[in-house]
Structure 1
Amino acid sequence: MFKYVIQLILGFLTLLMSTAISWYEGSGIIDNPLEWKYSTPFSQIFNIEISSGQDISQLDYFVYAAKFQPFFPTIMTVSVLYICTVLIFFIFQLNRQLAIILSGIISCVFIVMSAIFFNSSTVGGNIFFWITAVGALIFISMGISLWYRKKYMFKFQPQ
């Protein structure tokens, strides 16, 4: 139990730090009006008309950072992958079926995310495509491995 808590704390601290830095780096979109049309999907979803940089949704800062300065957004994504992995292994100790289901759900989320980044025109988009695609494969294989362990783990033990 203690080893999971320490790993989760470290994962969340890394996520928090990389999120703050990504948000700061992404605020550069305010000064780049040429990117307002292409790097503000959340403002477009929320039907926000952008007449100045102050109108841009805070979520679009992360999109801009991921496209043009992908290091810390990549650290964010990897820390989310790590946190999810630790949580699944912890949950597997408590409820094996739930861990398998969560692994499947997380892999589906990463498949959708990789489809969003597929064939991106920026370096950051390509990096995120590969990270999310590999993350989906990791969670698919983790789900299969956990299912196999659940199904065959206790069959061959002597009674």
Structure 2
Amino acid sequence: MFKYVIQLILGFLTLLMSTAISWYEGSGIIDNSLEWKYSTPFSQLFNIEINNGQDISQLDYFVYAVKFQPFFPTIMTVSVIYIFAVLIFLIYQLNRQLAIILSGIISCVVIVSSGIFLNSTTDGGNVFFWITTVGALIFICITISLWYKKNTSFNLQP
């Protein structure tokens, strides 16, 4: 249990640090008015009219960072995948069926996420496509291996 807690703490600290740096890097969209039309899906979703850089949704900072400076957003994504994997193995110790179900759900969510980046025109979008695709494959493998382990364990009680 202790080893899972340490891994989760390190994963969350990495996520926190990379999120802060990504948010800072993405704030560059404020000065790049040419990208306001193409890199502000959350502002458009919330029907925010962008008259100046200060009107842009904070969530759009991450979109801009993913498109043009993908290193720290990639670290964010990898740390989220890692945190979920550790949680799955922790949950597996407590409730095997729940861990298998959650791992399958996470697999589906990550597959859908990779589909969002499928035909990206930016290098950052392509990086995210491959990161999420590999993450989906990891969770599919985790799901299959946990299911196999659960269903092939032998009961040696008389």
Q: TM-score over 0.5 for the alignment?
A: yes
1:29 counterpart = 2:29 = yes
**Secondary structure of the equivalent of 1:119?**
coil
1:119 counterpart = 2:119 = yes
1:128 counterpart = 2:128 = yes
2:151 matched residue in structure 1: 151
Q: How does 1:85-96 map to 2 (within 5 A)?
A: 85-96=85-96
Which runs of no fewer than 5 residues in structure 2 stay unpaired?
A: none
2:47 matched residue in structure 1: 47
For residues 86-136 of structure 1, give each alpha carbon's deviation from its aligned partner in whole angstroms, at most 9, with x where no partner exists: 000000000000000110111111111100000100000000000001111
1:17 matched residue in structure 2: 17
Which runs of no fewer than 5 residues in structure 1 stay unpaired?
A: none
**Secondary structure of the equivalent of 1:49?**
coil
1:4 counterpart = 2:31 = no
**Secondary structure of the equivalent of 2:43?**
helix
* Matches of 1:88 and 1:5, distance apart in 2: 13
Q: How does 1:51-62 map to 2 (within 5 A)?
A: 51-62=51-62
Amino acid of the structure 2 residue aligned with 1:14: T
* Matches of 1:140 and 1:46, distance apart in 2: 34
What count of residue pairs does the alignment treat as equivalent?
A: 158
Q: How does 1:62-101 map to 2 (within 5 A)?
A: 62-101=62-101
* Matches of 2:81 and 2:62, distance apart in 1: 17
Amino acid of the structure 2 residue aligned with 1:11: G
Give the fraction of aligned pairs with identical amino acids, expressed as a percent: 82
* Matches of 2:111 and 2:41, distance apart in 1: 19
* Matches of 1:141 and 1:96, distance apart in 2: 15
How large is the Cα RMSD of the aligned pairs?
0.9
Query: TM-score normalised to the size of structure 1?
Result: 0.97
Query: TM-score normalised to the size of structure 2?
Result: 0.98
2:103 matched residue in structure 1: 103
Task: Report how far residue 158 of structure 1 moved.
Answer: 6.8
* Matches of 1:153 and 1:11, distance apart in 2: 31
1:138 matched residue in structure 2: 138
